[in-house]
């Protein structure tokens, strides 16, 4: 394909790299079917068994564009330790064109591969609270180093959303914050650290989540800002990150209704189904030249527009999305037929494949790229550095802290989840190692209404954990009731998740601490 003569509907110009001839040569040798399968990011769980099985399954179809590893994110069959490395090696071995290997490493490798080898970093909001762009660079660097060691070459992160609605159940602590100036400063540094050490970054969820109060996993949501407001906030963030060389953008299943003129049965479609948002805004106005990936197409906000899953997936590609994350088995053949029937122009497919190969070129999958290298010595120390810099004394009206004469405290967890209740033992151990007796109460502090017992404690510490996917809208009734009635002079609230709960749910408590994350170091 002559890059200078792209179909007018996809008239996206970009600089030609020195090795563009290599990309054009690869394309010239690809069959139509091979090009179609390059648009697929497939789950990798089927290839963990043995080389013979992998070879058989992968040879049944042309090379897919890439694989997703780290199935913990969807509760599917999880690969651990060397199984992950072996699966990636098999995927590479039996793929005609080197595949993208991507993982949801938003918070370090330990988040997706929790086998003790790799550190789990705090939520991005914790990083944002430090306002330290060197920490942001290291966050990217020390996500990339172990990821490349495993074989992952593309991170499905960082999150580039803005916390404009503290009730949003899916952004919240995943976001750096709500200030676009801070967010772009931190994320530009993170992306630089990540990509200089050989792993591509995927910024998400375009055109920007965090304004709505709903979750796009379950229902279509909207970025309801005006076009001008968007340009001064989300637009500024995306513009800065694209100019910094970010290699991939993930389109979200949310609309930007003020920008969009198109309606499907009176509904502004999500970005994943909107040519206006993908081609006109992202690839056009913002000049993004690499591949656009969809968020997982099994999410309900995507599925509810056309109802027919395969039709939705073909329409997603037609709208300008180049890589589909976890499409159905029928998608590739349906896309092939749509191209053969002339429903989708060949120029659209060539544009997508060219962008995908350009992304792979920048990831070093065709050779000729040199990346920085370093040891993993700093990986396990970064959590501590971020935590110590981030933890915030939000409120201390009576000067209760620092408290140096503690003898006995009560730790009360406000959570519905066993793993969060269990994590309170980290706090308990820390207090006891410092000579303070600590008793844990799960949800109900049964001594709260008995003054003669409460006086035995020097501090009553209530701990909340609400964060993304565990929404901030709920607090259990009993401890919430208790905390408002207790002796405020000795009551402290600590949030190991959303800090917005401090003002929203505990306005009368005199002392409050935001720790932002529930990692061991933050606790």
CA distances from 163 to 166, 170, 179, 332, 499 (A): 6, 10, 8, 36, 12
- What counts of helices (H) and strands (E) characterise the chain? 20, 16
Q: Looking at residue 69, what is its pLDDT?
A: 86
Burial of 321 (0-12, 13-18, 19+ CB in 10 A): buried
Considering the chain, what is the average pLDDT of its residues?
88
Confidence check: pLDDT of 144 > 70 = yes
Could you tell me the pLDDT band of residue 4, with boundaries at 50, 70 and 90? very low
Which residue would you say has higher pLDDT here, 119 or 436?
Answer: 436
Residues contacting 434, CB < 8 A, separation 6+: none
Q: Which of 144, 145, 148, 169 is nearest to 158 (CA)?
A: 144
Q: How far is CA 20 from CA 37, 348, 359, in A?
A: 21, 18, 11
Q: What is the pLDDT of residues 443-496, one digit of tens each?
A: 666 665 565 667 789 999 999 988 877 665 556 655 666 666 667 788 999 999
- DSSP letters for 486-512: S-GGGEEEEESS-TTHHHHH-TT-SEE
Rounded-to-5 percentages of helix, strand, coil across the chain? 40, 15, 45
Q: What is the pLDDT of residues 212-263, one digit of tens each?
A: 999 898 899 999 999 999 999 999 999 999 999 999 999 999 999 999 999 9
421 pLDDT band, cuts 50/70/90, is confident
Q: Which residue has the tokens 């306002």?
A: 131
Q: Which residues contact 298 (CB under 8 A, 6 or more apart)?
A: 326
* Cα distance from N-terminal residue to C-terminal residue, the chain: 56
> ∠ CA(460), CA(462), CA(468), 5° rounding?
170
Q: CB–CB of 160/238 below 8 Å? A: yes
Mean per-residue pLDDT, 391-415: 93
Confirm if 161 and 241 have CB atoms less than 8 A apart: no
Tell me what pLDDT residue 77 has: 53
Question: Does the pLDDT value for residue 295 go beyond 70?
Answer: yes
> Are the beta carbons of 207 and 230 closer than 8 angstroms?
yes
pTM of the model: 0.91
User: Residue 363: is its pLDDT beyond 60?
Assistant: yes
What pLDDT digit, counting tens, does each position of 75-107 carry? 555 566 677 888 888 888 888 899 999 999 998
Compute the average pLDDT of residues 190-212. Answer: 97
Asked if pLDDT for residue 365 goes beyond 60, the answer is: yes
């Amino acid at each position: 394909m002559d890059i200078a003569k792209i179909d007018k509907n996809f008239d996206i110009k970009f600089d030609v790299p020195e090795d563009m001839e290599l990309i054009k040569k690869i394309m010239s040798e690809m069959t139509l079917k091979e090009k179609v399968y390059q648009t697929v990011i497939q789950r990798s769980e089927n290839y963990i068994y043995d080389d013979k099985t992998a070879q058989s399954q992968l040879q049944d179809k042309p090379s897919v564009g890439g694989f997703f590893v780290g199935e913990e994110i969807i509760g599917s069959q999880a690969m651990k330790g060397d199984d992950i490395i072996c699966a990636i090696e098999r995927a590479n071995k039996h793929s005609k064109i080197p595949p993208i290997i991507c993982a949801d490493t938003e918070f370090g490798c330990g988040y997706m591969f929790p086998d003790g080898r790799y550190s789990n970093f705090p939520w991005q909001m914790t990083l944002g609270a430090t306002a330290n762009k060197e920490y942001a660079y290291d966050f990217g660097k020390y996500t990339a180093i172990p990821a490349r060691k495993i074989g992952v070459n593309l991170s499905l992160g960082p999150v580039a959303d803005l916390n404009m609605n503290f009730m949003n159940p899916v952004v919240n602590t995943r976001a750096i914050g709500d200030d676009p100036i801070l967010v772009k400063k931190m994320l530009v540094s993170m992306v630089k650290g990540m990509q200089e050490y050989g792993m591509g970054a995927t910024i998400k969820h375009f055109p920007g989540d965090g304004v709505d109060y709903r979750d796009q996993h379950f229902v279509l949501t909207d970025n309801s800002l005006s076009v001008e407001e968007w340009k001064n906030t989300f637009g500024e963030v995306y513009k800065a990150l694209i100019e910094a060389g970010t290699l991939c953008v993930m389109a979200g299943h949310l609309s930007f209704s003020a920008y969009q003129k198109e309606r499907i049965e009176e509904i502004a479609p999500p970005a994943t189904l909107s040519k206006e948002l993908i081609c006109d805004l992202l690839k056009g106005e913002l000049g993004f030249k690499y591949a656009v990936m969809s968020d997982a197409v099994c999410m309900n906000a995507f599925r509810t527009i056309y109802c027919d899953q395969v039709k939705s997936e073909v329409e997603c590609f037609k709208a300008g999305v180049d890589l589909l994350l976890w499409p159905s088995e029928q998608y590739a053949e349906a896309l092939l037929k749509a191209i053969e029937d002339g429903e989708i122009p060949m120029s659209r497919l060539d544009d997508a494949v060219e962008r995908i190969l350009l992304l792979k070129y920048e990831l070093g999958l065709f050779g000729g790229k040199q990346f920085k290298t370093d040891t993993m010595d700093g990986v396990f120390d970064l959590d501590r550095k971020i935590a110590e810099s981030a933890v915030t004394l939000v409120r201390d009206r009576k000067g209760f802290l620092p408290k140096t004469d503690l003898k006995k405290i009560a730790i009360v967890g406000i959570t519905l989840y066993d793993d969060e209740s269990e994590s309170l033992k980290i706090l308990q151990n820390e207090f006891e190692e410092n000579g303070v007796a600590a008793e844990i109460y799960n949800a109900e502090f049964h001594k709260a209404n008995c003054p003669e017992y409460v006086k035995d404690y020097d501090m009553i510490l209530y701990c909340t954990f609400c964060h993304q996917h565990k929404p901030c809208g709920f607090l259990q009734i009993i401890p919430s009731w208790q905390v408002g009635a207790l002796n405020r002079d000795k009551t402290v609230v600590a949030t190991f998740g959303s800090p917005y709960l401090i003002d929203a749910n505990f306005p009368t408590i005199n002392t409050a601490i935001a720790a932002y994350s529930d990692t061991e170091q933050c606790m």
